[in-house]
Each structure stands twice: as structure tokens, then as C-alpha cells.
Amino acid sequence: MPGYRYRLQQGGVKQYCPACRQRRFVRYVDTLTGEEIADEVGRCDREDSCRYHLRPSEYFRQRGIQLPKATVVHREPVLEPEPSFISLETMQATFSGYERNNFCRWLVGLFGESKALELALAYRLGTSKYWPGSCVFWQIDAEMRIRGGKIMLYDAETGRRVKEPFSHVQWVHKVLKIEPYHLKQCLFGVHLIKGDQDKPVAVVESEKTAIVGAGFMPEYIWLATAGKGNMSQEKLRGLQGRKVTLYPDLGAFEKWHEKSKGLQNVRVSSILEKRATQEDRAAGLDLADYLLREHFDRRNKQAV
């Protein structure tokens, strides 16, 4: 089975990007030697805001170095292991402490205590001690198996993720040191689709956007890919028979449109692309930003 000589490092710790200085950079490695090409040869995963990507071929060409002849290696196919799962008891142990959960506190300020609790219970939000105030976004598949739990820290006042001095994101299985563990992600919130067979489905990128969408537009079942790179036809096929609308973040429309080709009853909304200003594009806004903007605009008008 052929494979490329150089590929992005898998499973390693992300480095600081040479362009944006965020710790979102993955370097290329030589599959024959296992060594990195150079510190600056790699890709930043901030695809819409940074877009830094220096390929090995470009690096060699810039320095007048002839690319090694053996640019393709042959490897035996590797069978992907079965997905691992978190125990129900582990998840249930996080269903408390919402008063110190920053994300849930922000939801209360936005929707009120009753609605916020309804959303937290529906999406099985948990509270983690890993970072004070952090929230666990559990990924539960359509068979109610717990694929994983993503721990993230939000600001209780702004509802924005805490990214300084580093991006506060971690997985439960890593915190608990469960090994070996094969994380195979599913759509966040997909466990909700069996509860209502008639509701149309809306798919966004972030867990926060899905929950905000569910709060403002409950006529849809809101799901999230939990990352732009996690959009795939495999995940969308699990929604067959449903009317599905994809709402990509600004700058991701073409990629999501390409991923949806050939799937029935799946359309990609271009509403953000049509409404966005240059400032919106530079900020990489998503649907939640627009829903929140309209909400606060209405609130301010009513207060006048």
C-alpha cells in the first residue's frame, strides 16, 4: 500500500506556529527516518485565521535542495482498531458542580437557570476539576456509547474559550490515563436524534454553537463536528433519512460543501458568507456569534 514519504506528525504535542505564535502547529516528519524536516516545515490548524502551511517540497525548493528520489514508501495496510469507550459511571460522576462550571454559568446568564439546566441535561454537560471552572463536553454516539469527553475552559462572563497562556483543551481519557485508548469521535449531540424522528438537523462546528443554536432555535436538533477537520461523510451518513443543514464557520463553506457532495437531503447554508463583513471574516465568526449579536441587539432595543 503506497504512502507519502513525508507526512504530518500524528499524536505528537503541537508546537508554536511560526506565523501566529499559537500552539497549533504540527510538523512534517520523514516516514523513513522518523525525523522532523525542520522547525518551520508544517501546518497550523487555524485554517481560517492563520493558514500557515509550509510543505517539505516547498522547503526543499526554496533552498535549492533536490527532493530525494524515494518520495514514496510502501507500507502494509494497518487496520484501524475498534473505538474505545468511557464508562457510564465516569460520565455520571461529572453531573454536578454546575454552579462552578464557567460554561454553564454563562448559559444561565444567557438563557436563565431553567433553560440552561435543560440544555446542560440534554447535552450531558459535565464539570471537571482538571481546570477550575472547566466543562466536559461528552461525545455520545447514537447507540448511547460514550466515545470520549472533551474538557474545555470558558470565561463565565464572555462565554469565550480561554486560550491564554495556552488553549485549555484536554480529553478525559488522557486525564485518567486510560491506555490504550482509541478515540474515534462522533458528532457531538448525535445521541439526541433518536428522541425525535421528525425534527430537522442542523450541524455546526463547535459544541458551544450547537448548544446556543438549541437554545435559540429548538425546532432543530443541533449537532457539532467538534472541530472543522472532523466533518466527514461517514458522520453525515449516520443522519440518513433526516433533513440536514450544515452551517460552516466563515471560511469553511467550500470545504464543507465538498464533504457533503453526493449525500441526499444534506444542504450547506451560505447565510454567513452572504452576511459577513470584512471584520467578521477576519474574526472567523460562526453562527453562534450572529445569534448572540441579534439577541443582544433586541435586548438593547427593548431597554431603550
Helix, strand, coil fractions of the chain, as percent rounded to 5:
30, 20, 50
Q: Retrieve residue 38's grid coordinates.
A: 525542520
| pLDDT tens by residue, 194-206 | 878 789 999 999 9
| pLDDT tens by residue, 243-292 | 999 999 998 889 899 988 888 889 999 999 998 998 888 888 899 999 99
DSSP states of 129-158 as a string? SSSTTEEEEEEE-TTS-EEEEEEE-B-TTT
Q: Phi/psi of residue 141, each to 5°? A: -80, 180
For domain 188-304, give the CATH number.
3.40.1360
Q: Retrieve residue 29's grid coordinates.
A: 516528519
Domain ranges of the chain: 2-74, 80-186, 188-304
Burial 44-71 (b: 16+ CB within 10 A, else e): bbbbbebebebebeebbeeeeeeeeeee
| pLDDT tens by residue, 181-192 | 999 999 999 999
As a whole number of angstroms, the distance between CA 244 and CA 38 comes to 43
Q: Retrieve residue 113's grid coordinates.
A: 437557570
| Least confident residue range of 98-102, 141-145, 210-214, 233-237 | 233-237
In whole numbers, what is the pLDDT of the chain averaged over residues?
A: 88
As a whole number of angstroms, the distance between CA 290 and CA 272 comes to 8
| pLDDT tens by residue, 213-250 | 999 999 999 999 998 778 888 899 889 889 999 999 99
Q: Residue 77 — very low, low, confident or very high, per pLDDT cuts 50/70/90?
A: low
